[in-house]
Amino acid sequence: NAGVTQTPKFQVLKTGQSMTLQCAQDMNHEYMSWYRQDPGMGLRLIHYSVGAGITDQGEVPNGYNVSRSTTEDFPLRLLSAAPSQTSVYFCASSYSKGDRLWEQYFGPGTRLTVT
């Protein structure tokens, strides 16, 4: 299993540009989420999905869109990039079974800089 994969690993955008961060998992997990990580602020939830066709907003959803057409993929779209969106973005998938309660499996991250 590849686990959770994210592309690209690094990206530089100019203000106003749009782009999609890709995330895929091959573990058949029902739950997927996107976080951003900024210095001193831990991980903040952007959007999450409890299954294909179902998405919901997290703590910091403004400026981002998501969709979940398949169990495996959960792309994050930046509509019009702003310098405040400079961050490291992590995608995660998780499941709950028996005593394994919603263990999150994280991808390697995408480091985004907006100039």
Partner 1 sequence: TQLLEQSPQFLSIQEGENLTVYCNSSSVFSSLQWYRQEPGEGPVLLVTVVTGGEVKKLKRLTFQFGDARKDSSLHITAAQPGDTGLYLCAPMIYNQGGKLIFGQGTELSVKP
Which residues form the interface with partner 1 (CB under 8 A)?
4, 31, 33, 35, 40-45, 48, 50, 58-59, 90, 92, 94, 96, 99-109
Those residues with Cβ within 8 angstroms of residue 28's Cβ, 6 or more apart along the chain or in another chain? 71, 95
Instruction: Name, in order, each residue with C-beta under 8 angstroms of 63's C-beta and a sequence gap of 6 or more.
Output: 78, 79, 80, 82, 85
Task: Using the minimum distance from each CB to partner 1, give the nearer residue, 18 or 103.
Answer: 103
Q: How far is the CB of 104 from partner 1 (least distance, A)?
A: 6
Tell me whether residue 73 or residue 95 sits nearer to partner 1 (CB atom): 95
